């Protein structure tokens, strides 16, 4: 594994959801040894790093995002020795391992919370966010939990409400308490000492809260919802300024960064997706050298097909807010419906040209500046799985059914072998979530056997990204093109690149740049300029380099 202090700036990160990647034991649930067995696949894809969703001890009310022991492996996933084998194999293959850390809250079964709720004067009484009831005996204010209902639950023995921005089983830690912060930093050091290369910090913009406990204001009807927000989600009926993206939390990031800086070449990637202005908030979290290294960009997690105007606005803001490109682009994670399916209800043309659209999205992702994250299965073009109510596992989906269908549809097991029992994910057909029939024809073995498959396209595109000096950290300059074509130049003294994307379901002819020709990536984009013009088919992309 080559070493570079800033490897994370242009890394291709592959997200692994442990429950659904590979089952090595035949119990229907993925595990760490399963991940280790399939790491060759990730390396062949071209990933620089893997981000592994939580695998530490948890009662699994939220599938690992409710931690009961931050420094122990959850038995359903394996052992500490299994973790070390996974880490060693990751490094042998030249990749780095980014570990999910859930530092905003714990499980209600964590020993810290058991002690905190036991009285108002015990040593950890102030380790969580407690508040007296309102005069009517109800919650202290109108704050809502992201999973539905009030963000407050009454603990009758203590006679106070505790804050939980997510499930009632996920009480929020009180980051105003220095002992809490010290404990979390020690947890970070534990895993860095084990050799992990960085942390993905879950919902890091939820640290802190308005200590006055004032109500959150109602959202005006004409006010937009954040990128990726479900249009019908009642959580966004208010402007959640009292418990999200608090300015008081920014100095705590410096403490996290100082801890990471004790270890060479380590990094922190922040999940910041619920603020009113997501990009501005994410910029705050990575501004300067004493905060996080990079942040997720949720702007591409869209329920509407991309337009030239919309993407231009996002890119212009990114260039302004992130001049050093400390941003990670992604089309989705384990928390959002798969992108292709989010667009399918916008007409038959999207389905008709789905083959081309998949490839356009891949090329857009690998040509934008900064790092990029691919969620497992997106490289196969998996659509959102349809999970019946009696098969659902996600507490968010179950609690809000049928208004919101939850996250199960993007978490179903990886299809490795189209015709094998359990699709090659498991030796049993009774997997923790059902394997979608629509996923079997898209299985890895089928796509590896086809030179024209989307998987092979992703492999080629990522290889080309690694070989192109203008990509990753090169500058970006938007170019004036007519709607619906988005075009930009990735500048570099050795090999600048000209990239154009037709975001429509019909062909478009545009002017091509003087002195550029189709020699950048013929295997990815065969369309070449002719007589000063280039014609892009529906959802076609052009990638041009300077003429020799």
Residues labelled catalytic: 202, 262
User: Distance (Å, rounded) from C-alpha 125 to C-alpha 114?
Assistant: 10
CB 510 within 8 A of CB 479: no
Question: For residue 421, what are the CA distances in angstroms to 237, 242, 424, 430, 446?
Answer: 45, 49, 6, 10, 15
Collapse the DSSP code of 5 into the 3-class scheme (helix H, G, I; strand E, B; otherwise coil) and give the result.
coil
Question: For residue 138, what are the CA distances in angstroms to 144, 152, 215, 354, 505?
Answer: 13, 9, 13, 50, 53
Collapse the DSSP code of 541 into the 3-class scheme (helix H, G, I; strand E, B; otherwise coil) and give the result.
strand
Q: What is the 3-state secondary structure (H, E, C) of 235-291?
A: HHHECCCCCCCCHHHHHHHHHHHHHHHCCCCCEEEECCCCCCCHHHHHHHHHCCCCC
User: Distance (Å, rounded) from C-alpha 375 to C-alpha 393?
Assistant: 20
User: Distance (Å, rounded) from C-alpha 185 to C-alpha 190?
Assistant: 9
Phi/psi for 182 (5° steps) reads: -65, -40
Across the chain, which distance is largest between two alpha carbons, in Å? 80
Tokens 């290889």 sit on residue: 463
Half-sphere exposure of 217 (CA within 13 A, CB side): 6
User: Distance (Å, rounded) from C-alpha 99 to C-alpha 192?
Assistant: 10
Question: For residue 278, what are the CA distances in angstroms to 41, 202, 227, 232, 290?
Answer: 33, 15, 7, 19, 20
3-state DSSP helix/strand/coil % of the chain, to nearest 5: 30, 15, 50
CB 141 within 8 A of CB 217: no
User: Distance (Å, rounded) from C-alpha 85 to C-alpha 78?
Assistant: 11
User: Distance (Å, rounded) from C-alpha 187 to C-alpha 398?
Assistant: 32
Other Cβ atoms within 10 Å of 203 Cβ, number: 22
CA dihedral 395, 335, 17, 359 (to 10 degrees): 150
- Residue of 506, 478, 501 lying closest to 491 (CA atoms): 478
User: Distance (Å, rounded) from C-alpha 460 to C-alpha 452?
Assistant: 11
């Amino acid at each position: 594994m080559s070493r570079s202090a800033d490897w994370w700036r242009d890394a291709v990160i592959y997200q692994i959801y442990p429950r659904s990647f590979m089952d090595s034991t035949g119990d229907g649930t993925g595990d760490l040894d399963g991940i280790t067995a399939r790491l060759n696949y990730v390396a062949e894809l071209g990933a620089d790093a893997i981000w592994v969703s939580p695998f530490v001890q948890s009662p699994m009310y939220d599938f690992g995002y409710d931690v009961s022991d931050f420094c122990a492996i959850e038995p359903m996933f394996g052992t500490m020795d299994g973790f070390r084998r996974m880490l060693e194999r990751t490094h042998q293959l030249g990749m780095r391992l980014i570990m999910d850390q859930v530092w905003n809250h714990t499980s209600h079964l964590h020993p810290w919370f058991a002690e905190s709720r036991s009285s108002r004067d015990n040593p950890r009484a102030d380790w969580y966010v407690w508040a007296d009831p309102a005069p009517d005996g109800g919650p202290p204010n109108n704050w809502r939990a992201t999973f539905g209902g009030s963000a407050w639950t009454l603990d009758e023995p203590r006679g106070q409400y505790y804050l939980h921005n997510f499930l009632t089983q996920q009480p929020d830690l009180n980051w105003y308490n220095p002992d809490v912060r010290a404990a979390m930093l020690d947890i970070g050091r534990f895993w860095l000492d084990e050799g992990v290369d960085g942390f993905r910090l879950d919902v890091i913009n939820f640290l802190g809260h308005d200590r006055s406990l004032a109500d959150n204001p109602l959202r005006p009807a004409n006010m937009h919802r954040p990128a990726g927000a479900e249009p019908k989600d009642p959580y966004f009926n208010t402007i959640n300024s009292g418990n999200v993206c608090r300015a008081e939390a920014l100095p705590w990031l410096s403490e996290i960064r100082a801890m990471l800086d004790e270890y060479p070449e380590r990094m922190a990637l922040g999940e910041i997706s619920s603020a009113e202005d997501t990009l501005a908030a994410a910029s705050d979290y990575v501004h300067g050298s004493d905060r996080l290294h990079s942040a997720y960009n949720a702007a591409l997690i869209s329920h509407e097909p991309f337009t030239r105007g919309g993407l231009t606005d996002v890119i212009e803001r990114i260039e302004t807010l992130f001049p050093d490109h400390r941003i990670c682009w992604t089309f989705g994670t384990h928390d959002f419906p798969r992108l292709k399916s989010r667009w399918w209800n916008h007409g038959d043309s999207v389905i008709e040209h789905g083959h081309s659209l998949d490839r356009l999205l891949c090329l857009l992702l690998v040509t934008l500046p900064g790092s990029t994250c691919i969620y497992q299965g997106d490289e196969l073009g998996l659509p959102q799985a349809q999970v019946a109510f009696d098969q659902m596992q996600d507490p968010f989906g179950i609690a809000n059914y049928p208004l919101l269908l939850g996250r199960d549809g993007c978490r179903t097991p990886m299809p490795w072998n189209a015709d094998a029992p359990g699709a090659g994910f498991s030796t049993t057909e009774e997997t923790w979530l059902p394997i979608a029939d629509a996923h079997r024809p898209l299985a890895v073995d089928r796509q590896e056997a086809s030179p024209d498959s989307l998987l092979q396209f992703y492999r080629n595109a990522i290889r080309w990204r690694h070989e192109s000096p203008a990509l990753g950290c090169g500058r970006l300059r938007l170019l004036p093109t007519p709607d619906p074509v988005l075009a930009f130049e990735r500048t570099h003294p050795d090999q600048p690149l000209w990239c154009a994307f037709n975001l429509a379901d019909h062909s478009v002819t545009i002017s091509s740049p003087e002195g550029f020709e189709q020699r950048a990536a013929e295997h990815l984009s065969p369309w070449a300029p002719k007589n000063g013009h280039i014609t892009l088919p529906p959802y076609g992309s052009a990638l041009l380099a300077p003429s020799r």
